[in-house]
Structures are given as C-alpha cells and as structure tokens.
Chain A
Amino acid sequence: MKVAEKYTDAELISAISSGKDLNPAILFLYQHYSEATRSFIMSYGGNEQDADDVFQETVVAFIDSVKKGKYRQEASVKTFLVSVAKHVWFNELKKKERAGFREKQFESTRDQQEQDVSHQIGDLEQKQQLRDLLSQLGEPCQKLLLLFYYENLSMKEITAHLPYENEQVVRNKKYKCLQQLTGMIKANPVIAEQLNALIK
C-alpha cells in the first residue's frame, strides 16, 4: 500500500489550513486514524459500511473545522477525530431512531471532549439540509458554483470548463445560480427559523 506523507499534528493542521495539497493529508487521516474509530462504531451497533461512512463524515467535519479556524488544538488530532466520530455516530443513531438500551449505554460513555466537539464542527443536521438543497440545483449551476467557490477558479478559467462564451456570461450565470440557491434556503422553514433566531 502506498504510504501517505507523514505529518505531525501541527504539520497536518498547517497542510489543511493552506488547502493547497489536501489529498495527501486526507489519505494520511485514512491510513492512520480510520481504524481508531472503526472498532468504536462497530461495538455500538454499526457495521463496516457505517464505520467507513462515519469516518468520511468525521474527516469532512475535521477539515471544515480546521479551515474555518474553529479547531482549537486542545487535544491530539487522533483524540479529536475519535470524539467527532462518536458525535457523528450518536447523531446517526438518534436519526435512525435506534433509541433505548444502546443509546442509553452510549450516552453514558459520552465524555466532555466529545460533547465539546459539537461547537467546533457546527450543526451537522443543518449541513445535511443544505446539501439536500444544493443537490436540487441543476447540474450546470452546481458545477459552476463548485468551480468558483471550492476550486477557486477565476471566471476566465471557468470558461475553459463550462460552455459559456465569456467571463461576463459566467458572472451573470453565477449570480443567478447563487440567488437560486439562497432562494431555496430561504424557502426552507427549519433553516429560516434558525437564521431568524440568529438575527434577533
């Protein structure tokens, strides 16, 4: 198996924050930390697929937290990842309504660290709802917004990827796509309520 680049915790955080070459950092997380969460998930009712899905969710939440400067580095990356994975799995169990004995047993194992991560990784439920809304946008809009806001391509570079004549056409299309998405978010009652509470 190809061995990923070796990182110390500080190097890993720095690589993720810079966002320049994220793939080796993600591969490192998989090679070094996925097993640590697997045994935990499987001992609390999950199967291998659950463990892989939870770890993917964990990696996304961790990278997002680092990129947004919310990760406080109070514990090692491994400890933090395990806490995030516990948090993700607990939410998943709640969603699947596997309440009762397992959940109660699980609840008793939740430590302060694990409860603390929820502040650092944000509202997973809201993220899921936003993802669902984004997936309802047409594919050209999704692609355009991803190229601009995730890949950080310029308008000119986007014309090479998408069938738009020039930068102005791309700019206008981007306005429309973003407005369409915000319109869908505004129409979502749960998110709107959360935002109202935030503004008031």
Chain B
Amino acid sequence: MPLQNTNALIDHLDESFATAPDQVASSAYIEMQRLIAEDEATAREWLYLQLAVDAVQDAGLREQVAAVRKQWEVQKDQAVTYEQHAATIPAGGRVRHLYRNMMRVAACAVLIAGGACIFKYVTLSSSSLYSEYYNAYELNTSRGAATQDAMERAYAGKNWTAVLSLFSTGKDRNNKTDFLSGIADLELKKFDDAIGHFEQVIASNSHSGGDYFEDEAEYYLAISWLAKNKVNEAMPILEKIKANKDHLYHDKVEKMSFTDLRLVQYKENK
C-alpha cells in the first residue's frame, strides 16, 4: 500500500479514537470507512494498524498494572513486618513482670522505629533522593589541557553559563556537547533543559545505532527526573541500569536504596 494511503489510514485510526460515538462523522471519515469495507488491501492494512495500536495499549496497561503491583507489594511487606513484630511479643501469666517490661521496650522500639519511619516518609521525596545521589560528572582530562576544546575548558572550570553559551553558538553539536550542556543545566537547576539534552543523546544513539555517552546520559536523565520530582519516569531507567551489569553506572545504581525509591513512588502516586 502506498505510504500516503497508510498515513491517511493512520489519521483515520487516530480520528476514530477521538470521535465520540454520538458525534457526526466527517465525509472523509465515511469515505475511508467505505474503503476499508470494500477494498481488501485497505482492510488488511487497517487490521494491522489496529493490532499495532492494541499492542501499544496492552504494553501501557501492563506497565501501569506492574507499577501498582509494586506499590501493593511494598504495602504488603510493611504489613507482614508489622505482624511478625507483633507476633514476637510474648503472652503469659508467670512472666508478667518481664512481659510488661518487654512490652515497654517493644513499645519504645516501635515508637522510635515508627517515628523514624514517619520522619523518613515525610522527608523523603524525589528531590531529596536527587540531592542524595547527584554527583557532578567529572570530565576525563587525560588528554591534557592543551588539547581540550573551549567547551571542555569551560566545563573543567565549572563555568556552566559558558558551557551553555558555547553549545548554543557552536556548530559542531554531538552527543558530548549535548551531554556536557545537560550537566551544566543540572548544575544551574534548569532540569527541563537538562532532560532535553540527555534525551537528545539517547535519541541520537538510537537513530545512529551508536552508544556515545549513552550510559552517562541514561544515568543523568534518571537523576534529572528525580530532581523534577518525577520518580515514575526515573524508576524504569534506574531499573534498566541495575539489571545491566555492563552499564557504566551499574555499581552506583545498585548502591541506591530502591526501597526509598519505591516509597517515594508510592507517595507520589497516591
């Protein structure tokens, strides 16, 4: 089927999602419906497109259910821990005195632990995790200052504004200039701009099939989402890094507290 016709079918598919059942359909819409009913090639293409969209919606739903499942598992684990703790408190008559003291100690422990949990719950946020896990990226300077370009020199001197200015005026943009500009944006708390730069690196690699600054961009993209209080965006990236032992930032991510991350996720999804 010619590309233009396929695009027209895609537009028709999108229109069918946007059109309410009681809405009067446009003549173009009716014409396309007729074509689907009468032309076998169009009908076939239409089915394939619907299958593709079904696959996307199925994947989206699956991700959403998996996220709630994780939240539920965290809640369940917390409830089990509480029940196990309650079960360890002894009951009986002969050791009432000891029992009472143990109860007092247990109550204090529960209060202290509860207080600590409440404090942690209240103070924990994506941005607090960002502050905990963010470390500025150190540029490899093994080539020596003489061979550094202007952007590298500005970066090494922590002149973040100059880094961004060189990026916006520079003609030779590549993953490295995008990445360094992303870090400069992070340092200047311009998180949206930082995210744009890191995603550009990833998109560029996806397009070219390369991996130049890929691992660095992925890690700092996750960190930027945390800075933006968007833990739901950060989690899949961090989980992906954690699952890949060859990733440059695997060890760093493995040391992160995923319990804290999930707790923040729970708080933010509430």
Q: Is B79 an interface residue (CB 8 A)?
A: yes
> What is the CA–CA distance of A186 and B66 in the complex, to the nearest angstrom?
29
Residues of B within 8 A of A127 (CB): 54-55, 58
Are B76 and A179 closer than 8 Å at their CB atoms? no
Say yes or no: A195 contacts B51, CB within 8 Å. yes
B72 near A178 with CB under 8 A, answer no
Tell me if A107 is interfacial: C-beta within 8 Å of chain B. no
Q: Mark A42-72, 1 if CB is under 8 A from B, else 0.
A: 0000000000100010011001100000000
Given contacts A131-B62, A179-B6, contact A30 B55 (CB under 8 A): no
Choose among B47, B57, B76, B199 the residue that contacts A150 (Cβ–Cβ < 8 A): B57
Interface presence of A190 (CB below 8 A)? no
Is A2 at the interface (CB under 8 A from chain B)?
A: yes
Residue in B closest to A128 when the chains form the complex, CB atoms: B58
Contact between A30 and B58, CB atoms less than 8 A apart: no
> When the two chains form their complex, are residues B56 and A23 in contact, meaning their CB atoms are under 8 A apart?
no
- Beta-carbon contact of A178 and B10 below 8 Å: yes
What is the count of residue pairs linking A and B with beta-carbon distances less than 8 angstroms? 120
CB distance from A90 to the nearest CB of B (A): 20
From known contacts A134-B56, A134-B59, A199-B43, infer whether A23 and B64 are also in contact, taking CB-CB under 8 Å. Answer: yes
Stretch at the interface among B104-112, B159-167, B200-208: B200-208
Verify if B136 is at the interface (C-beta below 8 Å from A). no
A59 to B75, CA, bound (A): 18
B78 at the interface (CB under 8 A from A): yes
How many chain B residues touch the partner (CB < 8 A)? 46
A64→B61 contact, CB < 8 A: yes
Instruction: Enumerate chain A residues within 8 angstroms of B79, measured Cβ to Cβ.
Output: 1
A167 smallest CB distance to B (angstroms): 13
- Residue B243 interfacial (CB < 8 Å): no
Q: Considering the complex, which residues of chain B in the window 56-89 have a beta carbon less than 8 Å from any beta carbon of chain A? A: 56-69, 71-73, 75-76, 78-79
Contact A150 B60 (CB under 8 A): yes
Q: Evaluate contact between A140 and B203: CB separation under 8 angstroms.
A: yes
Please indicate the chain A residues that have their CB under 8 angstroms from the CB of B200 in the complex: 163
Q: How far is the CA of A26 from the CA of B269 in the complex (A)?
A: 13
| Bound Cα distance A138, B210 (Å) | 13
**Which chain A positions have C-beta within 8 A of B76?**
1
Which residue from chain B places its CB closest to the CB of A2 in the assembled complex?
Answer: B75
Q: How far apart are the CA atoms of A183 and B202 in the complex, in Å?
A: 24
Inter-subunit contact B199/A162 (CB<8 Å): yes
Distance in angstroms between the alpha carbons of A135 and B72 in the assembled complex: 26
Among B47, B73, B269, point to the contact of A198 (Cβ < 8 A): B47
Chain A to chain B contacts (Cβ below 8 Å), 28 pairs: A1-B79, A2-B270, A22-B64, A23-B269, A26-B68, A31-B72, A34-B72, A52-B73, A59-B65, A60-B58, A60-B61, A60-B65, A127-B58, A131-B55, A135-B59, A142-B56, A142-B59, A145-B56, A146-B60, A149-B17, A149-B60, A150-B56, A150-B57, A163-B203, A175-B10, A182-B49, A185-B52, A195-B47
